[in-house]
Amino acid sequence: MWLNVAGLILILIVLCYALIPNLLTRVFRVGAVTRGPAEPVVALTFDDGPDPNYTPALLDALRAAGVRATFFVIAEKALERPHIIERMRREGHDVQVHGYRHAFVPWLTPWAAIRQVAGAASALKQRFGIVTRFYRPTWGLCNLASFVPWWRASHRLITWSIMVGDWRVTEPEVLLQRILKRLRPGAVIVLHDSDETFGAEAGAPAGVIQLIPRLVEEVQARGYAFRTVAEWL
Ligand SMILES: [Zn+2]
């Protein structure tokens, strides 16, 4: 009997702590920004970098296309590869928080979940002078601590409106068609500039880099302008 009650309480705690926050943000789209205002504007965002093998080439492609993007970075990698972050800033890109490490947040303790944001934000501020305002949780998954108001006031949760499976090696043309099919005013497109994350296929970001010129051309031809998250939201 007591074992059953304890088991029930445990299930309830897990539901409230790790599951319900993700149902809200991912399924019901409550509590997290998923898209911008319904204007002919889109945000191009990249998760998981900075990556020494791909991010510099991606920055080259963005510069050639004349587009500024938003990078949701892993603070630990940013500290290891400061020259890439400095280049992002020099070239007018927006740098925001993806986490201190690429952790599975639903399993983290409240303190560790908060450190994912607060620790990353303070590292980016101290090392680079970057004041971040947005947090995209790793894998888009959070827990109840991610809703703690004292840091949510400083960092808004953000996910995306268009995700196309670019973490697997995919033909750039296929990625392009998937994006165009779902393109709407206010879209937030998420792509990845690293294959170091668990679940990513080696070499996948090369297709993302190849995609950039065509993507920019096709999106602009449909009357959309690109904005960074910070200047737009
Ligand atoms: Zn990620």
Q: Where are the domains of the chain?
A: 2-232
Binning pLDDT at 50, 70 and 90, where does residue 150 land? low
Q: How far is the centre of ligand 1, averaged over its atoms, from the C-alpha of 192 (Å)?
A: 7
Q: Which distant-in-sequence residues (6+ apart) come within 8 Å of 202 by Cβ? A: 169, 195
Q: Rg of the Cα trace of the chain? A: 18
Q: Which residue has the higher pLDDT, 84 or 13?
A: 84
Ligand 1 is an ion; its neighbours by CB within 5 Å are 47-48, 138
Distance 149 CA to ligand 1 centre (A): 23
Task: Provide, rounded to the nearest whole percent, the portion of the chain with pLDDT above 70.
Answer: 98
For residue 140, report the distance from its CA to the centre of ligand 1, in Å. 7
How would you class 2 by CB atoms within 10 Å of its CB: exposed for 0-12, middle for 13-18, buried for 19 or more?
Answer: exposed
Is the pLDDT at 217 greater than 60? The verdict is: yes
Question: What's the mean pLDDT when you consider all of the chain?
Answer: 93
Ligand 1 center–CA 2 separation, angstroms? 40
**Residue 20: per-residue pLDDT:** 81
221 C-alpha to ligand 1 centroid (Å): 29
pLDDT in tens, 166-188: 999 999 999 999 999 999 999 99
Mean pLDDT, residues 112-137 taken together: 95
- The Å distance, Cα 210 to ligand 1 centre, comes to 20
> 197 C-alpha vs ligand 1 centroid, how far in Å?
7
Task: Output the CA 143–ligand 1 centroid distance in Å.
Answer: 16
Residue 48 CA to ligand 1 centre (angstroms): 5
Q: State in Å: Cα 86 to ligand 1 middle.
A: 21
Task: Determine the CATH number of domain 2-232.
Answer: 3.20.20.370
Taking CA atoms, 122 is separated from 45, 75, 142, 188, 197, in Å, by 21, 9, 20, 25, 23
- State the distance from the centre of ligand 1 to the C-alpha of 16, rounded, in angstroms: 23
CA-CA distances (angstroms) from residue 117 to 22, 27, 97? 17, 22, 7
Does position 149 have pLDDT exceeding 60, yes or no? no
Place of tokens 């995609």: 211
Tell whether the model's pLDDT for residue 115 goes beyond 80. Answer: yes
pLDDT of amino acid 152: 61
Whether residue 151 is predicted with pLDDT greater than 70 in this model: the reply is no
Q: Which of 136-145, 172-181, 210-219 has the lowest mean pLDDT?
A: 136-145
- What pLDDT sits at residue 30? 78
Contact, 190 vs 160, CB < 8 A?
A: yes
Residue 4 Cα to ligand 1 middle (Å)? 37
Mean pLDDT for the stretch of residues 117-145: 94
Higher pLDDT, 53 or 18: 53
Q: How confident is the model at residue 18 (pLDDT cuts 50, 70, 90)?
A: confident
Percent of the chain with pLDDT over 90: 74
Q: How many A from CA of 124 to the centre of ligand 1?
A: 17
For residue 145, the CA-to-ligand 1 centroid distance in Å is 19
Instruction: Please give the pLDDT value at position 6.
Output: 87
Crossing angle of helices 82-90 and 55-65, in 10° steps, is: 10
Q: How far is the CA of 5 from the centre of ligand 1 (A)?
A: 37
- pLDDT tens per residue, range 19-35: 888 888 877 777 888 99
Task: Report DSSP letters for the chain, one per residue.
Answer: -HHHHHHHHHHHHHIIIIIHHHIIIIIS--SSB-S--SSSEEEEEEES---TTTHHHHHHHHHHHT---EEEEEHHHHHH-HHHHHHHHHTT-EEEEEESS---GGGS-HHHHHHHHHHHHHHHHHHH-----EE--GGG---GGGG-HHHHTTSEEB--SEE--TTS---HHHHHHHHHHT--TT-EEEEES-S-STTPPTTHHHHHHHHHHHHHHHHHHTT-EE--HHHH-
Rounded to the nearest angstrom, the distance between the alpha carbon of 134 and the centre of ligand 1 is: 14
Q: Which residues contact 103 (CB under 8 A, 6 or more apart)?
A: 112, 116, 138
